[in-house]
Amino acid sequence: MERRSELDKEELERKQELKAEIRETLTQWENAKRFFNHAAGKEQIDYAIFSIITAEKRYDMLLSKAKRMRGPWPKWEGIVK
């Protein structure tokens, strides 16, 4: 029984780490969109577009990873809008 509790704790920690990574990636995505709105010149626009695409793909990848994880999750406050 103790081993099960230890595994549950490890699973919860992995989920919390993944949630933090998702939150960070969402912030990066939002920042990239803001940067695009204020970009001046071709190079900044290209960089902003690359940043948006990269953050969006990472966000999608992390959400897919979260969906594959089974069991209860801590609250998702402030992450998914």
pLDDT computed for residue 39 by the predictor: 95
**Mind listing the pLDDT tens digit for each residue in 12-26?**
889 889 999 999 999
Domain regions of the chain by residue span: 2-68
**Mind listing the pLDDT tens digit for each residue in 38-75?**
999 999 999 999 999 999 999 999 999 998 987 777 66
In sequence order, the 6+-apart residues with CB closer than 8 A to the CB of 51 are 28, 32, 35, 36
Cα R_g (the chain), whole angstroms: 17
